[in-house]
Amino acid sequence: MKPTHKPIVYIISAPSGSGKSTLVNEILKAIPGLDFSISYTTRAPRGSESNGKQYHFVPRQEFDRMVKADEFLEHAEFDGNCYGTARRFLGEAKRKGTDLLLDIDVQGAAQIHKKLPDAVSIFVLPPDKKTLEWRLRKRGENDEETIRRRLETAGREIEEYDRYNYVLINDQLEKSIERLEAIVLSERLRRQGRALFEEERAIVERADRLRLANLRERVQPILASFRVPASSARS
């Protein structure tokens, strides 16, 4: 009998505007056998968004029913809207023999780690606060109150970076795609339980440089750029 496939679950989190969606789209095109879990949400579609593509859009009543039926691996509320990852995607990946990529916030990531302790978590950081603000404006966030709120939220979220296995600083898109690819492939290689070829060892080494323990020092200036000086906070 063919052994049951145990999917590798990759969690990717980042503050809004960090370029996470672009990275996810690129890695799904580059790496075969990697499925993406489309979240459920109670918020209304925006712009050209369509049901089943960016999100599964459902009424609050249906979302609450799914929560009561324990149909979510994780769920959270943000800005008055609910978001959740359906448990069924993990079962589908197991049946198909694929791995699963989850794009979720820090609240959801904590819930997933409790249920799936061997999940691989990746936190994407902007190079600094100024760059994040520029990216938010570039993508059409022109309301000053919305930008202020998103930057404040980002400041809180990045404080959670040390709960993740890997840290990816998204300073240059092409390099960031290569780094994320190295993380995904290295985790697959590690679980094969065999000696690695030289090229495969190089992939694992590239990924290891992105592990939390090796990135703490580089993250400190980014954290500092989001912190409000005490004198400013009192004014």
| pLDDT tens figures, 70-85 | 999 999 888 789 999 9
The chain-wide mean pLDDT, for the chain, equals 90
Lowest mean pLDDT among 134-138, 177-181, 204-208: 134-138
Q: Which CATH class is domain 9-228?
A: alpha beta
Nearest to 129 by CA among 101, 106, 105, 157: 157
Return the higher-pLDDT residue of 25 and 142.
25
- 141 pLDDT band (50/70/90 cuts)? low
| pLDDT tens figures, 31-71 | 999 999 999 999 988 888 889 888 999 999 999 999 999 99
- 228 pLDDT band (50/70/90 cuts)? low
Integer Cα distance of 170 and 122 in angstroms: 12
Residue 157 contacts residue 107 (beta carbons within 8 Å): no
User: What is residue 13's DSSP assignment?
Assistant: E
The pLDDT, as a whole number, for residue 220 is 94
**What is the full DSSP assignment across 56-99?**
EE--HHHHHHHHHTT-EEEEEEETTEEEEEETHHHHHHHHHT-E
pLDDT of 234 higher than 50: no
**pTM as predicted:** 0.89
Nearest to 66 by CA among 39, 47, 91, 93: 39
Share of residues in the chain with pLDDT > 70 (%):
94
The pLDDT, as a whole number, for residue 5 is 82
| pLDDT tens figures, 82-104 | 999 999 999 999 999 999 999 98
Q: What average pLDDT does the segment 17-25 reach?
A: 90
- 119 pLDDT band (50/70/90 cuts)? very high
The pLDDT, as a whole number, for residue 235 is 33
Amino acid at 62: E
- 231 pLDDT band (50/70/90 cuts)? very low
Lowest mean pLDDT among 107-121, 136-150, 207-221: 136-150
